[in-house]
Amino acid sequence: MKLQDATWQDVEGFRRDCVVLIPTGSLEQHGPHLPLFTDSLIVTAVAEAVEARLTESVILIPTLWLGASGHHLRFPGSLSSDFDSYMGEIQSCVESLLPHGFHKFYILNGHGGNREPNGIAARRLKEAHLQATIGQSAYFDFVKTVISDTLEGPLKEMRHACEAETSLMLYLHPDLVRTGKLRDDGLASDPAVAGMVHHFDEITEQGSYGYATLATAEKGERIFDAAVKQVTQEIDRVANGYFLRGL
Amino acid sequence: MKLQDATWQDVEGFRRDCVVLIPTGSLEQHGPHLPLFTDSLIVTAVAEAVEARLTESVILIPTLWLGASGHHLRFPGSLSSDFDSYMGEIQSCVESLLPHGFHKFYILNGHGGNREPNGIAARRLKEAHLQATIGQSAYFDFVKTVISDTLEGPLKEMRHACEAETSLMLYLHPDLVRTGKLRDDGLASDPAVAGMVHHFDEITEQGSYGYATLATAEKGERIFDAAVKQVTQEIDRVANGYFLRGL
Amino acid sequence: MKLQDATWQDVEGFRRDCVVLIPTGSLEQHGPHLPLFTDSLIVTAVAEAVEARLTESVILIPTLWLGASGHHLRFPGSLSSDFDSYMGEIQSCVESLLPHGFHKFYILNGHGGNREPNGIAARRLKEAHLQATIGQSAYFDFVKTVISDTLEGPLKEMRHACEAETSLMLYLHPDLVRTGKLRDDGLASDPAVAGMVHHFDEITEQGSYGYATLATAEKGERIFDAAVKQVTQEIDRVANGYFLRGL
Amino acid sequence: MKLQDATWQDVEGFRRDCVVLIPTGSLEQHGPHLPLFTDSLIVTAVAEAVEARLTESVILIPTLWLGASGHHLRFPGSLSSDFDSYMGEIQSCVESLLPHGFHKFYILNGHGGNREPNGIAARRLKEAHLQATIGQSAYFDFVKTVISDTLEGPLKEMRHACEAETSLMLYLHPDLVRTGKLRDDGLASDPAVAGMVHHFDEITEQGSYGYATLATAEKGERIFDAAVKQVTQEIDRVANGYFLRGL
Amino acid sequence: MKLQDATWQDVEGFRRDCVVLIPTGSLEQHGPHLPLFTDSLIVTAVAEAVEARLTESVILIPTLWLGASGHHLRFPGSLSSDFDSYMGEIQSCVESLLPHGFHKFYILNGHGGNREPNGIAARRLKEAHLQATIGQSAYFDFVKTVISDTLEGPLKEMRHACEAETSLMLYLHPDLVRTGKLRDDGLASDPAVAGMVHHFDEITEQGSYGYATLATAEKGERIFDAAVKQVTQEIDRVANGYFLRGL
Amino acid sequence: MKLQDATWQDVEGFRRDCVVLIPTGSLEQHGPHLPLFTDSLIVTAVAEAVEARLTESVILIPTLWLGASGHHLRFPGSLSSDFDSYMGEIQSCVESLLPHGFHKFYILNGHGGNREPNGIAARRLKEAHLQATIGQSAYFDFVKTVISDTLEGPLKEMRHACEAETSLMLYLHPDLVRTGKLRDDGLASDPAVAGMVHHFDEITEQGSYGYATLATAEKGERIFDAAVKQVTQEIDRVANGYFLRGL
């Protein structure tokens, strides 16, 4: 069920062990070639495809599109929520539905910068509602191997406006990709250091990180289909229950 | 310009005296006949029509769809943001763009429950950024007379899932209106009292307030066109400047 | 009952269905002719007159005089609470009395800038205490017609240190009015725009808005008496109960 | 200067090295014999007497009457602000005046429960405004010796609705004292423990702590006059400057 | 029991009427002769000695070493927690243990700047958990007379890096005292004013306040032993119960 | 430099391009065999060893031992900070030192539950202080391969009170390990789901997760030495600078 199109009576009649699916995106710079809404567009497409496959066991809410993007703010057009408001919106969605008996929630993320606040929001919810079932992950975390296998450039994982993300956009929204502006970009520390907090105006020249020039719609389709398949399996398992067994 | 489709380089090239238009909606019960997303759908339609008419002087951001809807929460499916997060998201949008020179912002509201937090968000922004230009109003506040003239039922103003709102949805999204479930609803205090905070489960039977059975697509078109015209005029004036003159 | 003069044993003996009346004012510039405490003085006078008429069904708390006045801060002497503290004080008053069985509260406002935070405070209280009865309005909202009929200048509504407010002060506290400094003031946008957030140093020359030179004590008395009568009727109805009936 | 009666032009003309005097009180149970407003009444009387003696070097703001009184809430009628809002209001008053050049502030307290939040508010202000002069103390801390010398009962210091406080009220507001209900009250730990946080329903029978039956107006006058004298001296020194010299 | 060395099964087996002892210190400048950790070192030593004497009736948690030290921040190396986080950590410790049945808590302070936030934290906890037993005091408040009797300099009370504190460090951690840098320091207001908030860069030359040159290990031992004895007695009484009796 | 032992004059003399090292631990259940302070003990040992190797380029602050451990709270003795206070303390440490010219900070984590709040704290700091250098990582993230190579049980990564963590404690603090209580523990979802937020009372029987029975001091030494070496290298690079070069 897409919540936005339902009436309250539709929701009243829905099964209570369904999974409320909460997509989180961003509106932030994605280099010279991708639109600001890239993350929101991709995660929405994944979430809608999952809902289409599991329409009886999913309540899909609209994408929370305003992400935590402080590291992109030096590029004009990027919008970033303060962390507290961002987390508060996720918690508000969950706590609006809990009193009506819905008790399974999954935050499906499409933007790396949301990872930490999604984690804290989910933990706060679990601590406050011990009996609730709460999960959260990014769509691209479900398909790390597929991404690694698909990409041709030396970076074998999802980065930012990279070969993978550009491919997904070429598949899903080719009209929004400025193909004339594709370029490889990104700086690495030398010697290597780990865990440094760098903003994208420090580690890129024009905002993207990776090998966008290698992107193709075919790669995007392959990653997208795999993500939909894996997320669908996950949500189905959460909806239908799983056991905790000894290691 | 629709911000979501732009790249950061597009934004970089945009005129700084344009108006950043921030639509605010809700996802909340709208009686048995209208979908939960009604407010967000209407305000988005108005905002997009305005942007289409003023594309060189408007930056339209995506609708902040999660509203302040605590008074609807007893109806399942309604989502309500806590007030702080709701206001924080508006402020975050504005404060993401201010450092890049954009300095005119207009919050266009589509949900009565957002009126007070929109007002406080706008005032906080103005107090913190004295040189900025900040405005906020609901689209239906621009067309009170048209609404009053158009409606046939005894309630001559915009209420909730009422003759006016249902008409707008019949015009904009007829497929989402459950025409078989239209009904008049709403309770009034007797004797009359003013300013009481009532939740919609207290003052309605099934969630709508007004004479939905009188709604028609034609009324919706009339209200919509008037709203687009008036909001367009407003935004154009904000973009192109206005003077303050003695009374 | 005036709460400030009571002992806890007096309160212990009071009827639980009385209305706790919470006046909210301000201490802010009111032009060259009115004292900073104008809003607090007027709303306190109204509230005390109401309490005198309904002493068995009202608990009057002292006026929360520190208002939300950020739009006046450029004039020296104005004090403005941050919004959170302002709302927190209202909520604290209510939540101090709720555990003792008092469950009807009415916030009587005397300052336009408090309207939005009063609204949010009332809504937060209602959401947290679903069985409580909460109302809020400004005293001048009860007498819009009387104000419109009484004023001679072209502005037919309550503004700031205007014909109406100055009249009220001439009636209630003539010694505090600097009659030698009365002047008309105020700027309007041209062409007209709606909903813009302007500070009073932007839209006035010396801080007042309206036709103060037309003020008289007689007009003040008329408005005051009408306000006391209407607010008394309202509070009486809230104390003695009202029904919700179909439209 | 009493700020409440002034216009903004009066304030504009005032000397910037005056001391802004901020009285803090409470509205809380004071046993069966004293009104809820006792603390606010006394501290206001002291502050007004000080202002009368130093009218050219003091800006007296109205008493912040809603105190931190959580330890009295089990007695009906007591109102307690949450700590954050309470501190926020003090900080708001100061930060409203700082931009106009006023830079000396003194928080004059009349309620023991405000001591800690007054301290933190003052420290936060000093940390944020290093060049400002901030002080805070209770009026009764200035006259410990006088209190000790004046009281006849075994408790030789200011407690709650005690011999001292009741005497002050008999002097200042005899009409508000229920002389027929005077009683000694209060429990002490046995064996003695230090620093325990006890609420007044735990450590008293009817809310007062001390020997109220020994109170007289004469004792009240003596304490009051001494407090006014000492606080006046303090404020005068703050206004006119003092040096920091080696021990 | 030292909580840090215990397992959860050890805690599971512990008596529920024991006192959870929460030491609070600081890391802040202590003049040229004492290390930044002085307060934390001393209060930890007192707390550990108390725990050693009352091991069956105390749960000692590790020292909350990051104090409220904003008044020392102009000296490099001082760390100061914002007040909210500082208080939140104390409250978090208590609220982690309350659900397991532990209900007696004592905050043992070693830093003057923590006094007010410790007081508010304790009051918030008591207001939220009415049945809990909460106490808080500084170790040096238990031995005011001993300190006064022991010190030879004109300042007869605990100040900052003074004769008393330096003596304690000479006794407990002589290796950390820079004896070559001992000096007397501190400025007093002339004429005397009370309650002014001064930072240590305003009222000292090099950060200490008092007569450090008079410090000896023997004085430190005397103060330390007395503090341990008195705090032990206090905690024992809290653990084993006390009565509240009429004055 | 160990900050706790230094005086402010020592800090005054220290080089400004050193790295301020902030260890973060926890006090939480670690199964029946490890003490509550396990995470804090290990990360402190690593941090102190790093400081010993880089004493001229590191300022080591004391371990922030109170972690974010809500998922362990059902086991008695676990203490968990609320997230806001936890993050606030990290930010406070950094913002106390920034005004004195120190501008490189590294948060060294020893507890998985701190990962997300450490990340947000670091990002907030970077957003507020664009020129600062901020890094954060867990000590065990530096030695994933060593851990994987060292462990004999089927779990090849750091979990909780597992083969790796128990080995580290057997090496560092063998006296604190209850060797008689070692046991394997932990439940896995079947079928597998990703990203679910489970508390440790849900996914373990007695609180540990992994193959503690396989732990040895030799394995602990190997992991510890590798971690110290790698973290030392990292901190040295941060202190002495690194470049950002094209991919």
Contacts of B100 in chain A (CB under 8 A): 76-77
> In a mutagenesis test of the C interface, which of B82, B91, B116 is the best target, namely the one with the most C β-carbons within 10 Å?
B116
Q: Is the pLDDT of residue A241 over 90?
A: no
Phi, psi torsion values for B238, nearest 5 degrees? -65, -40
Across-strand partners of A105? A20, A134
pLDDT, one tens digit per residue, over A158-178 is 999 999 999 999 999 999 999
- CA closest to A141 among chain F residues: F194
Ordered DSSP codes for B121-136: HHHHHHHH-TTSEEEE
Subunit partners of chain C (3 or more CB pairs within 8 A):
B, D
Residue F244's pLDDT band, with cuts at 50, 70 and 90, is confident
Alpha-carbon span E179 to E204, nearest angstrom: 19
Alpha-carbon span C68 to C79, nearest angstrom: 8
Strand bridging mode E184-185 / A210-211: unpaired
Alpha-carbon span F4 to F22, nearest angstrom: 12
Closest-CA residue to C49 (of C247, C164, C221, C185): C221
Task: Check CB contact of B205 with chain A, cutoff 8 Å.
Answer: no
Across-strand partners of D21? D60, D106
The three-point CA angle C12-C17-C23 to 5° equals 85
Q: Is the ipTM of this complex over 0.90?
A: yes
- Is there a domain that residue B13 lies in? no
C113's CB contacts (< 8 A; 6+ apart) are: C26, C28, C67, C68, C69, C70, C71, C72
Peptide bond into D154 cis (omega under 30): no
Alpha-carbon span A74 to B100, nearest angstrom: 8
What does the pLDDT read at residue C244?
87
Q: CATH no. for residue B67?
A: 3.40.50.10310
Q: Do E36 and E122 contact (CB within 8 A), yes or no? A: no
**Quick one: DSSP state of residue D212?**
G
Alpha-carbon span C75 to A110, nearest angstrom: 48
Mean pLDDT, all residues of chain C? 97
B7, HSE (Cβ side, Cα atoms, 13 Å) = 19
- For the record, the structure tokens of E154 come out as 């004109």
Contacts of A86 in chain B (CB under 8 A): 85, 89
Structural domain count, chain E: 1
- Is there a domain that residue A54 lies in? yes
What does the pLDDT read at residue B246?
85
Contacts of D78 in chain C (CB under 8 A): 8, 96
Task: Check CB contact of D126 with chain E, cutoff 8 Å.
Answer: yes
Radius of gyration of chain F (CA): 18
Q: Do E230 and E14 contact (CB within 8 A), yes or no? A: no
- Is there a domain that residue B160 lies in? yes
Contacts of A93 in chain B (CB under 8 A): 66, 79
- In single-letter form, the type of residue at position C85 comes to S
Ordered DSSP codes for B206-225: SS-BEEGGG--HHHHHHHHH
More confident: F142 or C246? F142
Give, for all 247 residues of chain E, the pLDDT tens digit: 999 999 999 999 999 999 999 999 999 999 999 999 999 999 999 999 999 999 999 999 999 999 999 999 999 999 999 999 999 999 999 999 999 999 999 999 999 999 999 999 999 999 999 999 999 999 999 999 999 999 999 999 999 999 999 999 999 999 999 999 999 999 998 898 999 999 999 999 999 999 999 999 999 999 999 999 999 999 999 999 888 888 7
Q: Distance from B104 to chain A by nearest Cα, in Å? A: 14
Alpha-carbon span C220 to C170, nearest angstrom: 7
Distances (CA, A) of B214 to B34, B184, B211, C102: 14, 9, 6, 42
DSSP helix/strand/coil, C193: coil
- Is there a domain that residue D1 lies in? no
- Is there a domain that residue B247 lies in? no
- Cβ-defined contact of D62 to C89 (cutoff 8 Å): no
On the 0-12 / 13-18 / 19+ scale of CB atoms within 10 A, A246 is exposed
% of chain A at pLDDT higher than 90: 95
DSSP helix/strand/coil, B37: coil
DSSP helix/strand/coil, C92: helix
Q: B94 lies in which domain range? A: 19-240
pLDDT, one tens digit per residue, over A189-223 is 889 899 999 999 999 999 999 999 999 999 999 99
Place of tokens 């128990």: F166
Residues D96, D97, D99, D102, Cα dihedral to 10°: -160
A180's CB contacts (< 8 A; 6+ apart) are: none
Strand bridging mode F19-24 / F104-109: parallel
Ordered DSSP codes for D80-100: ---HHHHHHHHHHHHHHHGGG
- Is there a domain that residue F187 lies in? yes
Give, for all 247 residues of chain C, the pLDDT tens digit: 999 999 999 999 999 999 999 999 999 999 999 999 999 999 999 999 999 999 999 999 999 999 999 999 999 999 999 999 999 999 999 999 999 999 999 999 999 999 999 999 999 999 999 999 999 999 999 999 999 999 999 999 999 999 999 999 999 999 999 999 999 999 998 898 999 999 999 999 999 999 999 999 999 999 999 999 999 999 999 999 888 888 7
- Cβ-defined contact of F92 to E77 (cutoff 8 Å): no
Q: Do A21 and A200 contact (CB within 8 A), yes or no? A: no
Alpha-carbon span F132 to F143, nearest angstrom: 26
What does the pLDDT read at residue A53?
98
Q: Is the pLDDT of residue D117 over 90?
A: yes
C contact residues 141-200, partner D, Cβ 8 Å cutoff: 176, 178, 181
F158's CB contacts (< 8 A; 6+ apart) are: F112, F140, F147, F164, F165
Q: How far is CA D9 from the centre of its chain?
A: 30
- Cβ-defined contact of D71 to E127 (cutoff 8 Å): yes
Q: Do F71 and F111 contact (CB within 8 A), yes or no? A: no
- CA closest to B202 among chain C residues: C244
Place of tokens 């048209």: B146
- Is there a domain that residue B79 lies in? yes
A241's CB contacts (< 8 A; 6+ apart) are: A17
Q: Do B61 and B3 contact (CB within 8 A), yes or no? A: yes
Task: Check CB contact of C37 with chain D, cutoff 8 Å.
Answer: yes
DSSP helix/strand/coil, A243: strand
- CA closest to A154 among chain F residues: F247
Task: Check CB contact of C31 with chain D, cutoff 8 Å.
Answer: yes
Alpha-carbon span F47 to B148, nearest angstrom: 72
Radius of gyration of chain D (CA): 18
Subunit partners of chain D (3 or more CB pairs within 8 A):
C, E
Alpha-carbon span A4 to F134, nearest angstrom: 41
pLDDT, one tens digit per residue, over D137-185 is 999 999 999 999 999 999 999 999 999 999 999 999 999 999 999 999 9
Closest-CA residue to A65 (of A109, A29, A17, A18): A109
Place of tokens 């409470």: D26
Peptide bond into E76 cis (omega under 30): no
Give, for all 247 residues of chain B, the pLDDT tens digit: 999 999 999 999 999 999 999 999 999 999 999 999 999 999 999 999 999 999 999 999 999 999 999 999 999 999 999 999 999 999 999 999 999 999 999 999 999 999 999 999 999 999 999 999 999 999 999 999 999 999 999 999 999 999 999 999 999 999 999 999 999 999 998 898 999 999 999 999 999 999 999 999 999 999 999 999 999 999 999 999 888 888 7
Across-strand partners of F59? F20
Subunit partners of chain B (3 or more CB pairs within 8 A):
A, C
Phi, psi torsion values for E61, nearest 5 degrees? -95, 160
E71, HSE (Cβ side, Cα atoms, 13 Å) = 24
What does the pLDDT read at residue F59?
98
Q: Do E110 and E158 contact (CB within 8 A), yes or no? A: no
Alpha-carbon span C22 to C3, nearest angstrom: 11
Radius of gyration of chain C (CA): 18
- CA closest to B6 among chain A residues: A35
- In single-letter form, the type of residue at position A55 comes to T
Least CB-CB distance to E85: which of F75, F78, F85?
Answer: F85
Q: Do F137 and F52 contact (CB within 8 A), yes or no? A: no
- For the record, the structure tokens of B38 come out as 């009604």
pTM for the predicted model, two decimal places: 0.98
Least CB-CB distance to D197: which of E134, E194, E243?
Answer: E134
> In a mutagenesis test of the E interface, which of F9, F34, F41, F160 is the best target, namely the one with the most E β-carbons within 10 Å?
F9
F touches D, CB cut-off 8 Å, minimum 3 pairs = no
As a whole number, mean pLDDT of residues F147-154 equals 97
Least CB-CB distance to E242: which of D83, D186, D193?
Answer: D193
Contacts of B137 in chain C (CB under 8 A): 194-195
Q: Distance from B145 to chain A by nearest Cα, in Å? A: 30
- Is there a domain that residue B124 lies in? yes
